A and B are shown apart, each in its own frame.
Chain A
Amino acid sequence: MNRLSIRNIKLVSLMTVALLIGIFSTSGSAEYGDVVINNYSDAEGMRPVIFPHWFHRIRYRCKTCHADLGFKLKSGGNDITMAKIIDGQYCGGCHNGEIAWAVENCDICHSGIPGTPTQVHGDTSKPAINKKR
């Protein structure tokens, strides 16, 4: 394959990505940056968790969660469990009855429509191609 046709393929795929993004990027209706976390909830008979970035970033810089509390930048990528939360990790670093309301308010976090998969909303890359994770 000569250099030109390799470049052609690259360009055509980039254009396809751009085209698909153009078509689909406006289709999501949930608030941008809302993360559905559903590694275990459905299987355990709880509604999936919805984490609103917009609400938290009004109160905290990204650093508090993504550096200090060690949340990895990957939805569903943190293997969060209630045991860890009660132990003060992840959401439990704040939702402990001191900084923010405590874990007994189950349905404020577990508020998603059952069956909603783990995902971040408004993700422009999602509809075009499945992200390499």
Chain B
Amino acid sequence: MKKSYTILLLTMLMGINSFVVKAETSNEASNKGVSNVNSFNRLLKKESKTNPPPMEDGIHDADNPGTALLQAPATAFETLDKSKHGNHINWVSSLDAAKIAPRWDRSDPTIQPIVFDLNIIREVKGSMPNVIYPHKAHTEWLDCSNCHPDIFIPQKGANQISMASIMLGEKCGVCHGTVAFPVTTSTCSLCHTQSKGNVQLPRSQASNSQ
């Protein structure tokens, strides 16, 4: 029972995903006879231009003299590793490849972080691959006190994490969805990385009778 719900959810997620992709391409065709009120995608917003310059991003005031002084994200991102989510930058690989050199200490550029290399494996119910949480990528950026103990209790088995709470901005969702790569239908596999091998998916009555 539980498994079939998981599959239903997955199918829905994938359905939305392909819907978005399809809509982006099919929207190009113009149907001259069709009135605007019946436009093909009424509520689905097409992905707006990524990395817009401050003048055009909808939150900066173009009449403010200081706005013209601000750097455009696309200029800064030119040499960095790309991704398809969030800032459309892979911050972790850009850091690892030394394409950026963010300071660990406010004023002393020579101080380096103490990186903690421990993977936490979280077994996930259903057919979804398990989650491997890498301390390494996180401690390159953050201090232990950013997460422990307020967001995650530093004790095995003490933390209940669900997709619903993440999507509501709790647990991993404090940063993933605001600053770090977001939780979308296309980022599942960035966290769900450990395959369970051959999972036996539940079959419908129809396929059982074959």
Output the residue of B17, B59, B182 with the most chain A CB within 10 A.
Answer: B59
CA separation between A96 and B89, bound complex, in Å? 30
- Contact between chains at B89 and A26 (CB < 8 Å): no
Number of interface residues of B (CB under 8 A): 71
**Contact call B89/A15, Cβ cutoff below 8 A:** no
Size of A's binding interface in residues, CB under 8 A = 69
> Within 8 Å of chain A (Cβ to Cβ): is B103?
yes
Say yes or no: A26 contacts B46, CB within 8 Å: yes
Q: Summarize A's interface: helix, strand, loop or mixed.
A: mixed
B159 interface residue per 8 A CB criterion: no
Q: Does B48 contact A (CB under 8 A)?
A: yes
Tell me whether chain B's interface is mostly helix, strand or loop, or mixed. loop
The 8 Å CB contact of B70, one of A58, A111, A113, is: A111
Mask: chain B, 1-39; 1 = CB below 8 Å from A; 0 = not: 110010001001100110110000000000000000000
Kindly identify, within residues 1 to 54 of chain A, every residue whose CB is under 8 Å from any CB belonging to chain B. 4, 7, 10-11, 13-15, 17-19, 21-34, 36, 47, 50, 52-54
Chain A residues, CB < 8 A from B46 = 26
- Say yes or no: is B184 at the interface (Cβ < 8 Å to chain A): yes
Answer yes or no: A91 CB below 8 A from chain B CBs.
no
Interface residues of A (CB under 8 A from B): 4, 7, 10-11, 13-15, 17-19, 21-34, 36, 47, 50, 52-55, 57-64, 66-69, 73, 75, 93-94, 99, 105-114, 116, 120-125, 128-129, 131-132
